């Protein structure tokens, strides 16, 4: 049995009142009607101000001006099982310059794309040329509806000829009829009845016909000119009904009140066809020559109407060989003469109608459906033979970058680290932050592997230690923000600030290559903070503190008290309250670890292995802190929860070949959707550190592979395929937003990069064989079970 072909259409869709919406619906039905082995679904472009009750084939909606929706749609397509994507392209359908938001979708999918081009511009502005050229590159096939469009693609855009397919705009298949039956059905008068239909906009040129009518009406007073259609929604939104009012005023000025009827309504397809069949003459007075297709003209031809049109490109081609009459743009006298000719020469008019009707048999939706199915088959075979996207990240370097501290040194003066930059230049007005200084100590101490390296970093570390000594308050907490004038801007920082300071100080205490004076000062500052860190409430502050205390305890501080505390905890049924009164660092370390366990137990569900009902910031640091707690205590509860939550972060952020970090534009709540932006590089750095800890504890190769992938986020393995690391300076760009990369290079970004790089460097001699295939997240579209159940045995 042949596998069912799955086609996913992208465009506007009924019941939206829009020509492309109708076209997409008709095309889908024609494809289905000609092939029983096809399954069709639709992704629609929508306007937030509009709400529609879409039919069941609509499976996803893209808000036109929300670029994150285009990225989410790409994820949906990749997981949907679709074989072919059929895109309806018109620049105005999509957000961005010249509709370039669509490339956020096209660049991220691994399916062949068949693009129906509803507009091709002969003399494009630069942004439209660039957009069209990108569209050509991303499309396996380009479907256009006229030979003029074929020629333009080849001549203006140098599109490969084998990519281009000419398939006419579809039309319903009606028999060749006279008009009287349908006039009676609709209770229409008019001898003759002239029709112009479609969404009303100034480009319609209806005033050209109105100005021609007095000379025709004088001879045929029963003539009716019916203008059928509501005002285009976008026109109405911007200009209201000004064009309609202009036309109505012109009717009054010309004395045509008895001969012109405005039917202000969007009619459904069946009713529209009845109006066309009832008319004697179809008028198409468009003002723009660059009209490469017209559904209205196509319908009029396919139903055998006598046609008078301006010579836009589509009309010139379709009405050649005496299938209609052409009148120059704005030629009022030409319209008058053409209308009179058709009225007064019924035999010639009927012959013209028959030629148009016969040509229209090629364009029936039945034939169009057959031709699209043929193109789908050709494109799919060609794509499977020569896939369009093999490896989206084949530009990544083979080796890790060398350690480069130029940018960190640039940000550091004799006080501390300037927090932010403008385009890589230190922005002094933002001052300094304890958060950055604490983590910078972590990054530097991880890089010290000899006395020589310690001496090289001595000035930086001394400056940072001096800053923390000055920032510590009388209670042992820390100020966070200091202005460039060396004035602290807060009474004390957040609990996270305290945790980050302890994180850095703990690494200083444990670094054997640093001087005794520096290590003693670090120990003194931590000891002064003992009561503050003991009473922390913030989970992340606890995690940071645990990471710092782990290094301190590993270095032997308070080790003599640990055994009794830990045995007491294991062997009694008392709650952890029994440890609260103990001030030693081991008890604080264990108390915080147990509180994270409690937090996990209170919030995790079958499909939500996390500490809180929302995934926010510094996420992997929570998992890592429990892994370190296991490494120190060998309590397997910490190990299980640490790995389970880290695997959960993998599940929700890994896309099969890159990480989509949870954005801070709303965070990710249970039963919600993952916000794609703004993504912060610190999350990639922390993930790398946590994966390395998991690899060292669990000895599973997948964690080393994931550490490499998460680190490569900085090097371009991200949604935008944007390199965030500046190889020339060692700077790191500050994040990924919906409008691209943040071009500033602040302290936090370069510090977390150095922390991740030093963690990964410890295992550079261990070959990474890509055997791990992590579960691909659905980006919040549906819930899935975690990679590791908390009850799973090791």
Do 128 and 224 lie in a common domain? no
Mean pLDDT of the 315-341 span? 95
pLDDT, residue 551, reads 96
Which helix (H) or strand (E) segment is 735 a member of? strand 735-737
Q: Which two tokens stand for residue 646?
A: 């880290």
Q: How confident is the model at residue 784 (pLDDT cuts 50, 70, 90)?
A: very low
Residue with tokens 């460039």: 484
pLDDT, residue 768, reads 52
Do 222 and 137 lie in a common domain? no
Do 202 and 332 lie in a common domain? yes
Q: Which domain holds residue 632?
A: 616-794
Q: Which two tokens stand for residue 258?
A: 């008895």
C-alpha to C-alpha distance for 135 and 123, rounded to whole angstroms: 17
C-alpha to C-alpha distance for 1 and 164, rounded to whole angstroms: 31
Per-residue burial over 431-465, b if 16 or more Cβ lie within 10 Å, else e, is: bbbbbbbbbbbbbbbbbbeeeeebeebeebbebbb
pLDDT in tens, 751-778: 999 999 999 999 977 655 444 445 444 4
C-alpha to C-alpha distance for 64 and 85, rounded to whole angstroms: 18
Q: Beta 113-117 vs 141-144: how paired, if at all?
A: parallel
- Helices (H), ranges, 472-494: none
Q: What is the domain count for the chain?
A: 4
- Residue 83 above 60 pLDDT? yes
C-alpha to C-alpha distance for 288 and 479, rounded to whole angstroms: 66
Residue 575 included in any domain: no
pLDDT, residue 385, reads 60
Do 790 and 689 lie in a common domain? yes
- Residue 141 above 90 pLDDT? yes
C-alpha to C-alpha distance for 198 and 265, rounded to whole angstroms: 10
Do 547 and 414 lie in a common domain? yes
Do 638 and 547 lie in a common domain? no
pTM over 0.85: no
CATH number of the domain where residue 670 is located: 1.50.10.20
Residue 562 included in any domain: no
| Last residue within a domain, chosen from 302, 327, 360 | 360
> Which 8-state DSSP code applies to residue 93?
G
Residue 476 included in any domain: no
Do 654 and 709 lie in a common domain? yes
Nearest in space to 632 (alpha carbons), one of 588, 599, 595: 588
Q: Which two tokens stand for residue 336?
A: 């008058």
Contact 276, 299 (CB under 8 A): yes
pLDDT, residue 657, reads 87
DSSP-derived secondary structure for 162-176: GGEEE-PPPB-----
Q: How confident is the model at residue 682 (pLDDT cuts 50, 70, 90)?
A: very high
Nearest in space to 581 (alpha carbons), one of 565, 567, 559: 565
Q: What mean pLDDT is reported for the chain? A: 89
CATH number of the domain where residue 241 is located: 3.40.50.2000
| Last residue within a domain, chosen from 360, 394, 419 | 360
Residue 599 included in any domain: no
C-alpha to C-alpha distance for 524 and 433, rounded to whole angstroms: 21
pLDDT, residue 767, reads 57
pLDDT in tens, 632-676: 999 999 999 999 999 999 999 998 889 999 998 889 999 898 898
Do 444 and 504 lie in a common domain? yes
Contact 11, 88 (CB under 8 A): yes
| Last residue within a domain, chosen from 527, 555, 583 | 555
* Strands of 118-161, DSSP E: 141-144
Do 77 and 160 lie in a common domain? yes
Do 539 and 420 lie in a common domain? yes
Nearest in space to 553 (alpha carbons), one of 628, 442, 611, 621: 628
Instruction: Spell out the long-range contacts of 597-604 with Cβ–Cβ below 8 A and sequence spacing 24 or more.
Output: 597/626, 597/637, 597/638, 597/641, 599/539, 600/641, 600/645, 604/644, 604/790
Q: How confident is the model at residue 206 (pLDDT cuts 50, 70, 90)?
A: very high
Residue 148 included in any domain: yes
Mean pLDDT of the 608-616 span? 97
pLDDT in tens, 475-484: 999 999 999 9
First-to-last alpha carbon distance for the chain, in angstroms, is 43
- Residue 136 above 70 pLDDT? yes
Residue 257 burial by Cβ neighbours in a 10 Å radius (0-12, 13-18, 19+): exposed
Contact 194, 231 (CB under 8 A): no
Residue 574 included in any domain: no
C-alpha to C-alpha distance for 284 and 315, rounded to whole angstroms: 9
pLDDT in tens, 362-386: 999 999 999 999 999 999 888 866 5
C-alpha to C-alpha distance for 250 and 503, rounded to whole angstroms: 78
Which residues, 6+ apart, have CB-to-CB distance to 488 below 8 Å?
471, 479, 481, 482
Residue 398 included in any domain: no
Dihedral pair phi/psi, residue 193, rounded to 5°: -105, 115
C-alpha to C-alpha distance for 457 and 452, rounded to whole angstroms: 9
- Residue 581 above 60 pLDDT? no
pLDDT in tens, 149-204: 999 999 999 999 999 999 999 999 999 987 888 998 889 988 999 999 988 888 89
Percent of the chain exceeding pLDDT 90 equals: 75
C-alpha to C-alpha distance for 740 and 493, rounded to whole angstroms: 31
Name the more confident of 564 and 519.
519
Integer-rounded Cα Rg, in Å, for the chain is 35
Residue 558 burial by Cβ neighbours in a 10 Å radius (0-12, 13-18, 19+): middle
> Cβ atoms within 10 A of the Cβ of 671, count?
9
Do 340 and 421 lie in a common domain? no
Contact 502, 531 (CB under 8 A): no
Residue 70 included in any domain: yes
Residue 761 burial by Cβ neighbours in a 10 Å radius (0-12, 13-18, 19+): middle
Contact 732, 745 (CB under 8 A): yes
- Residue 217 above 90 pLDDT? yes
Contact 690, 696 (CB under 8 A): no
Do 766 and 677 lie in a common domain? yes
- Residue 239 above 80 pLDDT? yes
pLDDT, residue 651, reads 96
């Amino acid at each position: 049995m042949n596998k069912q072909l799955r086609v996913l259409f992208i465009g506007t869709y009924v019941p939206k009142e829009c020509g492309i919406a109708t076209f997409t619906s008709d095309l889908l039905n024609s494809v289905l009607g000609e092939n029983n082995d096809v399954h069709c679904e639709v992704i629609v472009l929508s306007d937030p101000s509009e709400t529609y009750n879409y039919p069941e084939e609509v499976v996803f909606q893209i808000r036109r001006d929300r670029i994150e929706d285009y990225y989410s749609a790409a994820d949906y397509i990749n997981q949907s099982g679709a074989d072919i994507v059929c895109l309806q392209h018109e620049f105005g359908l999509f957000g961005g310059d010249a509709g370039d938001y669509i490339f956020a979708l096209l660049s991220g999918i691994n399916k062949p794309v068949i693009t129906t081009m509803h507009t091709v511009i002969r003399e494009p502005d630069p942004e439209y040329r660039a957009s069209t050229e990108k569209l050509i590159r991303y499309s396996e096939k380009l479907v256009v509806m006229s030979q003029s469009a074929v020629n333009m693609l080849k001549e203006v855009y140098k599109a490969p000829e084998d990519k281009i397919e000419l398939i006419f705009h579809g039309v319903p298949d009606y028999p060749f009829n006279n008009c009287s039956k349908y006039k009676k059905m609709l209770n229409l008068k008019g001898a003759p009845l002239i029709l112009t239909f479609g969404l009303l906009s100034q480009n319609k040129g209806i005033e050209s016909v109105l100005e021609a009518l007095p000379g025709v009406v004088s001879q045929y007073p029963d003539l009716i000119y019916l203008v059928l259609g509501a005002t285009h929604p976008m026109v109405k939104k911007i200009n209201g009904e000004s064009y309609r009012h202009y036309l109505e005023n012109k009717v009054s000025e010309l004395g045509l009140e008895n001969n012109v009827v405005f039917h202000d309504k969007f009619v459904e397809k069946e009713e529209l066809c009845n109006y066309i069949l009832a008319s004697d003459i179809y008028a198409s007075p468009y003002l723009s020559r660059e009209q490469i297709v017209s559904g209205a003209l196509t319908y009029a031809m396919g139903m055998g109407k006598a046609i008078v049109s301006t010579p836009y490109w589509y009309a010139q081609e379709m009405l050649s060989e005496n299938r209609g009459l052409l009148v120059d743009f704005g030629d009022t006298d030409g319209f008058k003469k053409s209308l009179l000719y058709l009225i007064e020469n019924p035999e010639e008019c009927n012959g013209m109608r028959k030629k148009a009707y016969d040509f229209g048999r090629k364009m029936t939706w039945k034939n169009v459906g057959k031709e699209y199915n043929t193109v789908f088959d050709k494109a799919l075979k060609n794509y499977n033979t020569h896939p369009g996207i093999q490896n989206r990240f084949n530009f990544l370097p083979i080796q890790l970058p060398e350690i480069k501290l130029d940018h960190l040194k640039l940000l550091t003066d004799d006080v501390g680290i300037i927090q932010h930059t403008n385009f890589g230049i230190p922005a002094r007005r933002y001052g300094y932050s304890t958060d950055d200084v604490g983590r910078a100590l972590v990054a530097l101490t991880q890089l010290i592997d000899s006395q020589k390296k310690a001496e090289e970093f001595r000035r930086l570390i001394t400056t940072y230690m001096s800053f923390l000594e000055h920032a510590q308050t009388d209670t042992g907490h820390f100020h966070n923000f200091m202005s460039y004038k060396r004035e602290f801007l807060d009474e004390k920082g957040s609990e996270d600030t305290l945790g980050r300071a302890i994180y850095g100080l703990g690494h200083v205490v444990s670094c054997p290559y640093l001087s005794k004076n520096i290590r003693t000062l670090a120990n003194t500052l931590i000891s002064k903070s003992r009561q503050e860190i003991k009473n922390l409430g913030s989970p992340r502050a606890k995690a940071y503190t645990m990471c710092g205390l782990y290094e301190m305890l590993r270095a032997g501080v308070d080790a003599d008290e640990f055994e009794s505390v830990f045995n007491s905890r294991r062997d009694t049924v008392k709650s952890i309250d029994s440890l609260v009164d103990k001030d030693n660092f081991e008890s604080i370390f264990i108390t915080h670890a147990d509180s994270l366990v409690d937090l996990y137990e209170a919030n995790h569900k079958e499909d939500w292995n996390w500490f809180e009902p929302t995934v926010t910031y510094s996420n992997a640091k929570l998992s890592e802190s429990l892994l370190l707690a296991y490494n120190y205590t060998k309590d397997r509860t910490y190990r299980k929860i640490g790995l389970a939550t880290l695997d959960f972060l993998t599940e929700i952020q890994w896309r099969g070949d890159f990480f989509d970090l949870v954005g801070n534009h709303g965070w990710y709540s249970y039963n919600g959707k993952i916000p794609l932006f703004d993504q912060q590089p610190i999350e990639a750095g922390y993930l790398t550190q946590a994966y390395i800890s998991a690899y060292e504890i669990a000895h599973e190769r997948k964690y080393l592979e994931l550490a490499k992938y998460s680190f490569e986020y900085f090097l371009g393995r991200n949604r935008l395929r944007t390199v965030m690391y500046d190889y020339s300076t060692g700077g790191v760009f500050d994040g990924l937003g919906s409008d691209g990369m943040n071009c500033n290079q602040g302290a936090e970004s370069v510090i977390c990069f150095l922390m991740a790089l030093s963690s990964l460097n410890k295992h550079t001699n261990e070959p990474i064989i890509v055997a791990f295939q992590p579960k691909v997240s659905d980006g919040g579209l549906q819930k899935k079970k975690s990679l590791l159940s908390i009850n799973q045995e090791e």
